[in-house]
Structure 1
């Protein structure tokens, strides 16, 4: 199991460091296209990052709860961990460095990345410890097909639903009705309520990968490659009628991102477990404390954005005075700033790992 978990840690760490990179450019006005989200339909490498993490959440559930113990203690531990993730997410969204130290209630965003991770973890873990793999396949199919039917056939206030960014988009409409001013944008939230349903499917597909890695199957890398290729094909076929869209977390998006996740994880597994190559340690260090690194990077970034230095923030001052040069394009300077942040948190991951500090959230 050690090497199998190692390959998952490498993938998790690479995902979290890429998440840090895309979240902390020097300036949002100058970012290379692959490091930006798609405007609406379609996907970029950046759009793979969050679903990859949910996928690994599912894979880790298959490792951590493989004994499928069903009792009050198991439910309590799952609920407490989910609650902590949601609470940390809400804290990040509300925190201010100056008095009154928290935003006005009406300005606090309720959905968010950590909130979605917490909710998805809770339901996926509960399903996993109660259902066998055959029933989990049925649940995953129902989630994906059910979401597609809801988004395409259920009218919004008497108007046919659309998949465009519009008031009669069912997912957006529900977020506005439920959360009001507490959304990421006035008209939608990429981590909204209804789209959490297919996000659970992203984690469940990761569960199946975890079951394969913990099984006695031979040629696991080959199986994962075949699974990943199949998901990619199915996802792109579904894209014809249900476009790939990260903001809506469409069913086609779930399949395509799970496809890429399986292909990449299969490659890592082949190199580390089959060929016994030593590589990717820096990612393993970050992966061992992934949530901690994500929280710290988000928190420190918020603090640096709120500390004012003249007409700019501490973040802006560092970018302008260290990374901006006449001989560099602004996009390159912005990328170098992001890479320096990644290096910083890689170092933190390394220190925590070497001191055997593993913080469970």
Structure 2
């Protein structure tokens, strides 16, 4: 991208910071409700984070490949990057800092955040290189409608009608169990399961379309972005009446609502930063310029902190939390939040250091 759009880097950085915030509380038993995912149907602020990132992946794909044509060399680079992301995700699942240094292969979880990002990136980039914007819209509509019809109306082999509830009468869980078996997050669902990856690709395609709009010569982009986002949110909540908003399923209504909100927020940030020139949140922007690196390191170090024992019945994480953050004067939820905020600040600092050293690690 010859000229970076600061608002995109800023939103990406805020999203990464939010990912780290919700993934590293001091105590999982004491977390404020907005920092947890919805139990099943519904939407919390935490449920916005991953779709926002996939939405931004789509915007980045547009700018990275807008001047490129489909070729063997381009496809190779797309495939290599996708495999790197998937490989990093699997490494996070396999690695443990204590002997034997690998988790049990019999039950290791195969899906994951980086794995889904890798798959979504590959498919979205391939579609963008081969389809015009009208075709991309048609694919998106077809996938969202087809996903709804399949999950809601196609009977199981034994004739049982499906539901949008948890197992057993849920197509997403049924297929995950058949294909992944024990290699899932939970026996009754995996939030990064197989079927949900299809509508997740649409989330990224919508990002591509927003990137194309940002790059156009149209006027009043910020206002139009907010308006388009509002339409997406309204359509998503209307669809919620028959196909509930659900992150675990990555329901079609979830796609519209989250992409709509992402578009609205991007429009506001675009107006403030790129139109008016009122710069803010530089630390987030720096982290956003090395987003995958920051996220990967945060996940890896968090796992190390949980696995390495310190004393009796404690690990690095619990020792740091209980020693530095737990006080009688502080509510348990607040102590847990303070720990998470401290971790976020550390990784924002890392993003700043990498920026100052002109280090930009492309995965």
Deviations 1:290-328 (A, max 9, x none): 000000000000000001112111100100010000000
Deviations 1:3-22 (A, max 9, x none): 65211000000000000000
Deviations 1:192-233 (A, max 9, x none): 001100000000111111001111111111111111000000
How far residue 187 of structure 1 moved from its aligned partner, in angstroms, is 2.0
Are the aligned partners of 1:3 and 1:273 in contact in 2 as well (CA < 8 Å)?
Answer: no
Are the aligned partners of 1:172 and 1:188 in contact in 2 as well (CA < 8 Å)?
Answer: yes
Q: Does 1:279 align with 2:274?
A: no
Structure 2 equivalent of residue 291 of structure 1: 292
How far residue 106 of structure 1 moved from its aligned partner, in angstroms, is 1.0
| Unaligned ranges ≥5, structure 1 | none
Q: Within 5 Å, which residues of 2 pair with 1:1-361?
A: 5-157=5-157, 158-309=159-310, 310-361=312-363
Deviations 1:261-282 (A, max 9, x none): 0011001100111111121211
d(CA) in 1 for partners of 2:181 and 2:306?
26
d(CA) in 2 for partners of 1:319 and 1:254?
36
Deviations 1:47-71 (A, max 9, x none): 0000000000000001100024110
- Paired residues, what number? 361
Are the aligned partners of 2:162 and 2:171 in contact in 1 as well (CA < 8 Å)?
Answer: yes
Secondary structure of 2:42 counterpart: coil
Secondary structure of 1:97 counterpart: coil
How far residue 24 of structure 1 moved from its aligned partner, in angstroms, is 0.2
- What TM-score do you get using the length of structure 2 for normalisation? 0.98
